[in-house]
Structure 1
């Protein structure tokens, strides 16, 4: 399998940026309270004010491979999402008082693994206070897209998180045979999974996730939308907890 030059640069950019992110004095920032700024073109969403918080690749790397074949369609999907992103982002029928968390991840992103542990701990502390919605955002080529399709398809059998956790512990899931082998070990209907993975419905869900990622500026992974707060990158658990606490006292974003 050929690894594209852009994939290498993007991965390197994400790693370098996250190391810089981890070096920031987050504990001090949290101690005096976090400051947010509104995202003007996607109200009522907001970001943290402090700079240097993204884990995405440098903007200098965007477009290294030239425009994609579906660039116009992708832009159209993003713009269609702008007026009301919440149903796609968080699902429908959000209960009052529950903080929704949309999580954008990539199986080959090592920092997603650390963030997922923090999210698990956050939810374990007060399970009823949050709704976690998974979004697969494959950015590192065909193997990542294959795993993402399997994850979304497994959700139709109620075993998305089981499959995701197994993928996270598997060194390499590079072809359909290895994906189906893992799925079989977990007791999934592999025939149904295989058919669902190539279905228009799965493609539509991945396209929808990509449109949301474009709307909120997620170039890399992980990405989070906690209530109305957008986080492009991994942050320490203290900041994650503070944002969640801040969101608890606000009305739902939509």
Structure 2
């Protein structure tokens, strides 16, 4: 099975100060400056984004967000006392599962400071797309994270029947969930997430934007804490 990004050797950073490089054209965002350390996308991912005629529309969506990505990235509930964390994930990505446990730990340590915003970035074909649509639709009923956690424990969510079984076990309004999954609103949200991923250079999952800092690939909890502490020291709000 293919999984997109490899885990990076972040553990080599232990005890070192972090340096950043500004992301050109997208202030105030920055990414870690790590010469020689890169994420590697599997060549099998090439071509999964649809036919070429869609490329123009996809680029246009990205450029529309460039001048003010924050509402799409972090939502409209920005606060002067919290660090927002945008998390880009894919249900079939094993690195995402490990990272989510660390994110839960980080949020539990300081829930008043951090706020997680979920972004579904399906990159492995129809099963991933189906699960992502169900996740976004479940958010409309206030049960996105419950459904996501159940999906993570389900061997394969590949057809409507499996989505229905999980939704019923969580007491979701199943028929409304299925309607929302096919709605223009859910499609628009997935399109915005893809545009954000293009803007910030996420070619796979997981991806993170912690306040002003952009990270591609899996990172250990120690590095999450280090970046989070630096972001807490930055002026609020992010943008």
TM-score range, shorter chain: over 0.9
Segments ≥4 residues shifted beyond 2 Å: 11-14, 26-30, 51-56, 58-69
Contact 1:103–1:133 (CA<8 Å) still a contact in 2?
yes
After superposition, the C-alpha distances for 1:135-190 in whole angstroms (9 at most, x for unaligned) are: 00000000000000000000011100000000001010000111111100110000
Does residue 74 of structure 1 match 2:54? no
Counterpart position of 1:49: 33
| Pick aligned residue for 2:158 from 144, 154, 174 | 174
Contact 1:106–1:136 (CA<8 Å) still a contact in 2?
yes
Moved more, 35-44 or 238-247: 35-44
| Pick aligned residue for 1:97 from 69, 81, 86 | 81
Query: In 2, Cα distance between the equivalents of 1:37 and 1:217?
Result: 14
What does residue range 82-121 of structure 1 map to in structure 2 within 5 Å?
82-121=66-105
Pair 77,186 (structure 1): closer, same or farther in 2 beyond 3 Å: same
Aligned residues: 238
What does residue range 165-244 of structure 1 map to in structure 2 within 5 Å?
165-244=149-228
For the residue of structure 2 that corresponds to 1:127, the secondary structure is coil
Structure 1: gaps spanning 5 or more residues: 1-7
Counterpart position of 2:109: 125
After superposition, the C-alpha distances for 1:35-78 in whole angstroms (9 at most, x for unaligned) are: 11111121110010113555450689645888534111100000
| Pick aligned residue for 2:127 from 143, 162, 167 | 143
Pair 74,66 (structure 1): closer, same or farther in 2 beyond 3 Å: closer
TM-score normalised by length of structure 2: 0.93
Q: Measure how far apart 1:111 and its partner are.
A: 0.5
Structure 2: gaps spanning 5 or more residues: none
Between Structure 1 and Structure 2, which shows a larger proportion of helix residues? 1
